[in-house]
Chains A and B, each alone.
Chain A
């Protein structure tokens, strides 16, 4: 692929400076100064408080570490540079979320040409909780586990088992085939069909 985190980060940085590329939300409501008594003292506090949340959100949407790391970096490089002025913690998180939504959409446009996953309003509630008691550890992961469990529960036994073994238990296709007592070739077919069925269920549940 030759697509390195460093290179994409540099592109994001360049984009942020010119107002193009990063495509951050427009400053259409400068008079708004709403809510949350909490303020971040500096960008480092913004970063420390949100890097974990943003990463988890991204991981839930791309499912792999290298992409999740690159996209998280892209969000902060695009968002933190123009981040200035007093903004409440809630405003900063809403802004990070808006940036993350744009960054994720750009990722799918570049890599597959189709928007596979997107950040929804429900995701925003996780990133920007009304109450800070929602720990960042809950962001993304709990929702992802819930969604996966809901899909798996509706699948026929064999489909459910192959997906559990492969996706949740980190089994190789060979190990999964052995566990199910089927051939490796059939395990591959099963996995393929199970994913299609799971996709239909996801569609229905949306």
Chain B
């Protein structure tokens, strides 16, 4: 990742910056992705629900569309979004961690209601055998991937139950 030597300008929501940029065709699996909030349960549909791939489009803030990289972002791991409750173990929302194939940018994204749960579980399984570079990048970014012993937690978050 290169450091951008340009001043970050005040983010102001204008007509060009919206929560959703409409339906799109996944560049990786080629399937049409509906971005409507009613289907996905999220306002920012930022990855394909079928193959879970994303694209590196944002630079500073979600929706700013300032990144010129536009590389494919692969799901590499799952993590928990801290909810601020330090007394509750394993609390927080289950999140997908994406990494850009081109420049290595990491991003943490919400899992949507229509995401393929089986595939999320496969990402979790694969994340137990991360290559050292990705592992180092996650550590450097302060992201703690979920580990094998947390599988039950992942399943509970995906399919419900106690």
Q: Do A and B bind each other?
A: no
